[in-house]
Amino acid sequence: MAYDRNENGLRNDGSKGHVLIADDAPFIIKQLTTMLRKEGYTVIGTAQNGQEALKIYQEKYPDIDLVTLDITMPVLDGITTLERILAYDKNAHVVMVTANGNESLVKKAITLGAKNYIVKPIVAEKALPRLEGAMRK
């Protein structure tokens, strides 16, 4: 994380952190955006496929603290997007978003460098600690 935080741990803009959300389901983007904003985060970009996410990451770098990546997306899937983001920025903080039943892909993502994962349907009480913890790893 290449930015300064004040004594309260907040970014200079007053937010807890800047997040990029990538998911091909608009309702998941809306749900994550609402949840994160309510907790004091700034969503600085959204993408509906991995190619868009990679482009936004490169445009906004180094001003992104966390990326949420759906594992299954069109154009460029989450695993490939994870690999490309980490090739661009080895210190990127990425949390994978998955439906039940993708355990092997989640394990692969963690092995590649994802900091954690959350499972759909998204439950704030379970997701927020994982997202917050991933930014500190």
Report which DSSP code applies to 117.
E
Residue 93 is assigned to a structural domain of this protein: yes
Question: Distance (Å, rounded) from C-alpha 92 to C-alpha 109?
Answer: 13
The domain that contains 42 carries what CATH number? 3.40.50.2300
pTM recorded for the entire structure: 0.93
Per residue in 40-86, pLDDT (tens digit) is: 999 999 999 999 999 999 999 999 999 999 999 999 999 999 999 99
- Number of folded domains that form the chain: 1
Per residue in 85-132, pLDDT (tens digit) is: 999 999 999 999 998 777 899 999 999 999 999 999 999 999 999 999
Range of the domain at 120: 18-136
**For tokens 């309510």, what's the residue?**
38
Question: Distance (Å, rounded) from C-alpha 41 to C-alpha 134?
Answer: 14
Residue 13 is assigned to a structural domain of this protein: no
| Cα angle 73, 68, 4; round to 5 | 150
